[in-house]
Amino acid sequence: MSDVEVDISNEGGRAVIEDKTSVPFRTFVSLILQRKVQTIFKKCQDEPVIVSSELLTSLASAPDDRQEDRAKLVLVTMGVGVIVGLFLTVAIFVALMLFGIQPVMQDLLITLAALAFVAVVVVMLQGAQKKKGLKEKLYESMEKVTDLVTR
């Protein structure tokens, strides 16, 4: 953290920092949470923000909830994936039956093997989550997939 030089004007016996606006912390945080600010972050990432030392200390010592959010994201993404996969499987079987193609035991076993393979991959990924580096990569991958789906 470095010192910031600012222009100060004297208005009515008070020192006012020129070209800066004072807003309550609640308003500032609400604006950030309610808006899409990624481009603003990129554009203004080196812009100084003046806050009280107590507020900065409180922010720095607050617990990090990103891990909790990421864990929920992984759980929801996997749940949605399972539901979509089951729906598509049933839809394919219904479509095959509509065209007069009756799936035989071999087809059902292939489908079961594919679902078992997916289950094994999910279990392996959960085991890999115990290692921090792989866990972060998994979370980042899930976030990228979620970003693609929500666009």
Task: Give tens-digit pLDDT for 96-137.
Answer: 889 988 888 888 888 889 888 888 887 777 666 555 566 666
Q: What is the mean pLDDT of the chain?
A: 77
- Please tell me the predicted confidence (pLDDT) of residue 71: 67
Q: Where are the domains of the chain?
A: 8-61, 66-150
pTM: 0.38
* DSSP secondary structure, the chain, as one string: -------EEEETTEEEETT-----HHHHHHHHHHS--HHHHHHTTT------HHHHHHHHHSPP-HHHHHHHHHHHHHHHHHHHHHHHHHHHHHHHHHTT----HHHHHHHHHHHHHHHHHHHHHHHHTTSHHHHHHHHHHHHHHHHHHH-
Task: Give tens-digit pLDDT for 74-103.
Answer: 777 878 888 888 898 889 888 988 998 888
Task: Give tens-digit pLDDT for 3-37.
Answer: 667 677 777 767 677 777 778 888 888 887 777 77
